[in-house]
Amino acid sequence: MKVGLIGAGLQGTAIAYDLARQSDFEAIIVADLDLGRAERLAELDSTGRTEPRCLDAGQSAAVADLAREVDVLVSATYYGFNLGLARAAIAGGAHFCDLGGNNAVVDAELALDGEAQRAGVTLIPDCGLAPGMATVLGALALARHPSPDALHIRVGGLPLHPKPPLDYKLVFAPEGLINEYVEPARVLRDGRLVEVDSLTEVEPVVFAGFGPLEAFHTSGGSSTLPRTFCDRLRTLEYKTIRYPGHCERMRLLRDLGLMDAKPIRAWDRGVAVAPRDVLEALLADRLVDPDGDVVLVRVEASGPHERRQVRHVFELVDRGDPETGHTAMMRTTGYPAAIVAGMLARGEIRRPGAVPQELAVPGEPFLAALKARGFAITEREETA
C-alpha cells in the first residue's frame, strides 16, 4: 500500500506520524509547496518509508499524477484546495479523505459521488476531529441506543491555562476559526434541518477536573449529520466548548465587522483592507502560546426507552503528548484521518463514491483504533 499526504503543517505532521506507525504502508509520500517542511517530516520517520516531494496543491495535473502512484490521497492543507484535490484523486484513481470542516466545500465534494463511483474510488471528507472523530462516535452512539431521538455533540480545543483577552490559543488556522464564527450552523429542530446563527445559544458545560466552561453554536461541526439523520431524529446539534466569556467577546468582534471579508477604506489613507485579513493576522500573532492544550469531546445520543430517558454517552479528555511533541489538537485531528486513510487503503471501507463519514466508516473498528492509539474514550449509559 502507498499513501500520498498533501500538507506538512501541524496536522500533516500528526498524520504522517500515524501513517508511519501503520506498518503495511510501504511508502508514504509527503508533499508540500515548501519542500523543506516535507523533508523535515521525512526525517522524523526512522523506517525510511517517507518520501518528501514539492507539490503545489492548486496544480490539478500534478496532484492527479501523485494520485496515480498511491492507493489513497490525504489532504492536510487549506480546506479551499479540497474540492480540486478530490477531483484530482478521481482522475488519478485514488481514494481520498480530508479534514473538511467547511460546509460549502464538503457539499461540493459530495456532489462528485457519481464521478467517484464510475472511477471505483471512495471520497470521504471531514475526517479530522469535529467533523470527524466526533461524527463517527455520534453515529456509533445512535447505534448503541435502543430508540434515540436526539444527538448532542460538544467539542472544544482549549489552552490548559487560559490567558486574556480571549482565554484561547490558536490550535488550527485562524481562517478556519473565523469561518466557524461567521457562517451559520446546521441543526435539526423538530426533525427539520435548519440553520442558526453561530455564536448563539450559550450554555454551561461541565467536565470533571475543569472549571466553568461554555458551549455555543459554530459552523461546520455537524456537517452532514443533520441531513443524514433528519428522518430519524428530532434534535441534532453541535456546539463548540470554550472558557466562559469567549463567545461574547468573539460576537462583539464579529458584530463590529472585524470578521467581514469585504475591504473597506480607512479614512483618507488610500488603502482598502479587509477587516477579516487584519483580524486573522492579529490572531495568528497574539494567540500563539507555548503552553499545553486539551481537547474535550462529549457525544450524547438520547431518547425515551421503557418509560425512561436513556442517554448513551462517549467522552474524551485528551492532552498533548510530550514524547512526540504532538498537541492534543494534532492528535485528535491527525490520527483519526490517518485511521480512515488506512481503512481505505486496506479495503476495509467498501463503498465507492463520495460518502459522508457517518455512512462510510465502520464505528466499532474505528473506536478500537482510537483506543489502540491511547485515546482514553469512556462510554456510559445513563437513565432518568
In the chain, how many H helices and how many E strands? Answer: 14, 18
Dump pLDDT digits (tens) for 208-249.
Answer: 999 999 999 999 999 999 999 999 999 999 999 999 999 999
Does residue 270 carry a pLDDT above 90?
no
pLDDT value, residue 300: 98
Percent of the chain past pLDDT 90, that is, above it, reads: 90
Instruction: Give dist(CA 132, CA 340) in Å, integer.
Output: 10
- SS3 call for 35: helix
Strand 293-305 versus strand 308-319 pairing type: antiparallel
- Do residue 144 and residue 267 come from a single domain? yes
266 or 281, which is more confident? 281
Dump pLDDT digits (tens) for 335-363.
Answer: 999 999 999 999 999 899 999 999 999 99
Does residue 266 carry a pLDDT above 80?
no
**CA distances in angstroms from 307 to 36, 203, 304, 312, 320, listed in the order given:** 61, 27, 6, 16, 42
Structural domain for 139, as ranges: 133-325+374-383
- Do residue 175 and residue 79 come from a single domain? no
- Do residue 66 and residue 179 come from a single domain? no
pLDDT value, residue 259: 96
Q: What is the mean pLDDT of residues 274-288?
A: 92
Contact 240, 204 (CB under 8 A): no
In a domain, 367, yes or no: no
Instruction: Give dist(CA 350, CA 348) in Å, integer.
Output: 6
Q: What is the mean pLDDT of residues 106-113?
A: 97
- Do residue 102 and residue 30 come from a single domain? yes
pLDDT value, residue 173: 80
Does residue 278 carry a pLDDT above 90?
yes
Q: What is the mean pLDDT of residues 108-135?
A: 97
Dump pLDDT digits (tens) for 26-79.
Answer: 999 999 999 999 999 999 998 899 999 999 999 999 999 999 999 999 999 999
Does residue 101 carry a pLDDT above 90?
no
Taking phi first (over 0 means left), then psi (-120 to 50 degrees means alpha), and beta for anything else, what does residue 7 get?
left
Smallest CA-to-CA distance from 87 within 54, 126, 61, 107 is with 61
Does residue 267 carry a pLDDT above 90?
no
- Do residue 48 and residue 189 come from a single domain? no
- Do residue 211 and residue 303 come from a single domain? yes
In a domain, 76, yes or no: yes
In a domain, 96, yes or no: yes
Average pLDDT, the chain: 95
- Do residue 239 and residue 336 come from a single domain? no
The pLDDT-based confidence of 170 (bands split at 50, 70, 90) is confident
Please tell me the pTM assigned to this model.
0.95
In a domain, 288, yes or no: yes
Q: What share of the chain is helix, strand, coil (3-state, %, to 5)?
A: 35, 25, 35
Count of the separate structural domains present in the chain: 2
In a domain, 54, yes or no: yes
pLDDT value, residue 213: 98
Taking phi first (over 0 means left), then psi (-120 to 50 degrees means alpha), and beta for anything else, what does residue 365 get?
alpha
Q: What is the mean pLDDT of residues 294-317?
A: 96
- Do residue 152 and residue 64 come from a single domain? no
- Do residue 174 and residue 155 come from a single domain? yes
Question: What CATH number should be reported for the domain holding residue 98?
Answer: 3.40.50.720
Question: What CATH number should be reported for the domain holding residue 253?
Answer: 3.30.360.10
Does residue 288 carry a pLDDT above 90?
no
The pLDDT-based confidence of 310 (bands split at 50, 70, 90) is very high
- Do residue 137 and residue 120 come from a single domain? no
Instruction: Give dist(CA 378, CA 376) in Å, integer.
Output: 6
- All three cell numbers of 271, joined, read 488603502
Instruction: Give dist(CA 226, CA 21) in Å, integer.
Output: 34
In a domain, 369, yes or no: no
Instruction: Give dist(CA 106, CA 370) in Å, integer.
Output: 24
In a domain, 368, yes or no: no
In a domain, 139, yes or no: yes
- Do residue 158 and residue 16 come from a single domain? no
- Do residue 69 and residue 203 come from a single domain? no
pLDDT value, residue 303: 96
